[in-house]
Structure 1
Amino acid sequence: MTDLILAILHHLLVFALFSIFAVQMALVRPGLGASTVSRLARLDGAYGGIALAVIIVGFARAIFGLKGWDYYSTYWVFWAKVGAFLLVGLLSVPPTLRFRRWLGAARADAGYIVPDDEIGAVRTWLGREGLVLLLIPILAAMLARGIGY
């Protein structure tokens, strides 16, 4: 039962993570104003918290799940998935820093509009992050089937 509960929780958290990422992609566009910046910053905080929960629950699955740590700890696909997730985290840092800067500007000026060049720069980072995010379910499918073990 522990394995089932951890699997369900892990999947729900990953779906939530992908959902928040999709909303961020939709919100970061030219004309981004102060009220949306505030929403974007809150979403980004939730994204970070959910990402941390994904890591915790994912490792709990690897340790306490049916296959156990001995299986996962020696499996290169598991470590590739962990590495991809960490890379997503690193790629999310520049957008997060921009969101925080934009939030400060929006708090100082209710009429603040994010400059288009900054929108473009953040969308580039989000695009990179999204590409790596797409690797994670691919690696998860490989992991579930023991491909390359």
Structure 2
Amino acid sequence: MLDLSLAIVHHLLAFGIAAAITAQLVLVRPGMQPPAVQLAAKYDIALGIMALSLLAIGFLRVFFGAKGSEFYFHNHVFWSKVALFGVIGLFSIKPTRAFLRWRKAQASDAGYAPEEVEVRAIRKVLMIEIHVFALLPFAAAAMARGIGYV
């Protein structure tokens, strides 16, 4: 039952992360208005919490799940998933920093809206994040079927 519970929470967090990145993509676009800055920043906080939770639950599955750590530690696809997740985390630094800057600027000027050039740059990074994230289910499905196990 623990394995099932961990798997369910793991999958729900993954869907939540996809939703948060998608919401940011909806908000961060040319012509972005001041209220969108605050909302995008809130989604970024939720994204960070979900990402850390997903990582924690994932490793709980490694050590307490039905397959056992041996299965995961000797599986190249598992390590590919971890690496992809790390890449997404690295890409997320730039948008997070931008959201923090934008919120700080709004604290001084309630009508502040970010420059179009920066909005486009952050949007590109978010697009990379969601596309790399889309690779994770492929790796998860392959790993669950024993592909990559040495």
Instruction: Report the TM-score when normalising by structure 2.
Output: 0.96
Contact 1:34 1:107 in 2 (8 A): no
Quote the offset at 1:33 in angstroms: 2.2
Quote the offset at 1:148 in angstroms: 2.8
> Mapping of 1:21-32 within 5 angstroms?
21-32=21-32
Aligned to 1:91: 91
Aligned to 1:140: 140
1:68 maps to amino acid: G
Contact 1:30 1:114 in 2 (8 A): no
Alpha-carbon deviations, 1:11-43, whole Å to 9, x = none?
A: 111111111111001100112122211111111
Aligned to 2:69: 69
Instruction: Report the TM-score when normalising by structure 1.
Output: 0.97
- How many residues in Structure 1 have an aligned counterpart in Structure 2? 149
Could you list the structure 1 runs, at least 4 aligned residues long, displaced by more than 4 angstroms after superposition: none
Contact 2:18 2:130 in 1 (8 A): no
| Paired residue secondary structure (2:135) | helix
RMSD: 0.9
| Stretch of structure 1 that moved more, 125-134 or 20-29 | 125-134
| Stretch of structure 1 that moved more, 91-100 or 30-39 | 30-39
Aligned to 1:50: 50
| Stretch of structure 1 that moved more, 131-140 or 75-84 | 131-140
Q: Distance in 2 between matches of 1:77 and 1:87?
A: 15
Q: Distance in 2 between matches of 1:9 and 1:63?
A: 16
